């Protein structure tokens, strides 16, 4: 049985970013793309729970508004608050060092790792809640790994 991981395209892109040579990059464009990917991750969580993702911004960033929306009524969601803020912070570091390719590339690399963490965290939450298209393949494996009482799905499969 093949386990389908959450956010496979994102993970592949992050791994490619990490493996790519430092030169020949448009660092700010990539940093903005990472932010957009982060937004997509949070959108996936919100839509899977039947919530319309906001288009608003907080402190100038939609990612932070989406996080605030996700945390409403779910305090445990704050476990990724600093991860989201770190994504924004590192985007700003890249913007600040546009004329310093080495520093910009370093910040970009860190941002990609933070993005990966956000995707892993939200992916784990989606799987735990029985949400997302990967659940049908992942859940039986997980059930075998940890025998215990049946879980109640928090949403449609």
Q: Does 35 bind another protein (CB under 8 A)?
A: no
**Residue 44 exposed, middle or buried by CB count within 10 Å (0-12, 13-18, 19+):** buried
The two structure tokens encoding residue 44: 């996936």
* CA–CA distance, 156 with 129 (Å, rounded to integer): 10
* CA–CA distance, 145 with 4 (Å, rounded to integer): 16
Q: Name the minimum Å distance from CB 116 to another protein.
A: 6
Q: Does 121 bind another protein (CB under 8 A)?
A: yes
CA Rg value for the chain? 17
Q: Does 142 bind another protein (CB under 8 A)?
A: yes
123 DSSP 8-state letter: H
Kindly indicate which of the ranges 31-39, 51-59, 80-88, 129-137 contains the residues binding another protein, using the contact rule CB under 8 A.
80-88
Among 25, 49, 68, 117, binds another protein (CB under 8 A): 117
Q: Does 84 bind another protein (CB under 8 A)?
A: no
Query: How wide is the angle at C-alpha 139 spanned by C-alphas 133 and 143, nearest 5°?
Result: 175
Q: Does 114 bind another protein (CB under 8 A)?
A: yes
Kindly indicate which of the ranges 25-33, 41-49, 62-70, 122-130 contains the residues binding another protein, using the contact rule CB under 8 A.
122-130
Q: Does 156 bind another protein (CB under 8 A)?
A: no
* CA–CA distance, 46 with 49 (Å, rounded to integer): 5
Given the structure tokens 């991981």, which residue do they identify? 5
Among 9, 148, 150, 156, binds another protein (CB under 8 A): 148
* CA–CA distance, 152 with 52 (Å, rounded to integer): 23
Among 79, 136, 143, 153, binds another protein (CB under 8 A): 79
Site residues for another protein per CB under 8 A: 18, 75, 78-83, 85-86, 90, 109-111, 113-114, 116-117, 120-121, 123-124, 127-128, 142, 145-146, 148
């Amino acid at each position: 049985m093949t386990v389908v991981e959450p956010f496979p395209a994102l993970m592949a892109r992050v791994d490619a970013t990490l493996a790519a040579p430092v030169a020949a990059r448009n660092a700010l464009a990539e940093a903005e793309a990472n932010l957009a990917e982060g937004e997509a991750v949070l959108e996936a969580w919100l839509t899977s729970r039947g919530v319309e993702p906001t288009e608003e911004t907080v402190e100038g960033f939609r990612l932070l508004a989406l996080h605030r929306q996700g945390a409403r009524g779910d305090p445990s969601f704050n476990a990724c608050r600093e991860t989201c803020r770190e994504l924004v912070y590192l985007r700003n570091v890249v913007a600040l060092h546009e004329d310093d390719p080495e520093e910009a590339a370093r910040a970009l690399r860190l941002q990609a790792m933070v993005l990966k963490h956000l995707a892993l965290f939200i992916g784990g939450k989606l799987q735990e809640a029985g949400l997302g298209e990967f659940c049908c393949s992942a859940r039986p494996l997980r059930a075998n790994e940890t025998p215990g009482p049946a879980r109640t799905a928090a949403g449609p499969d």
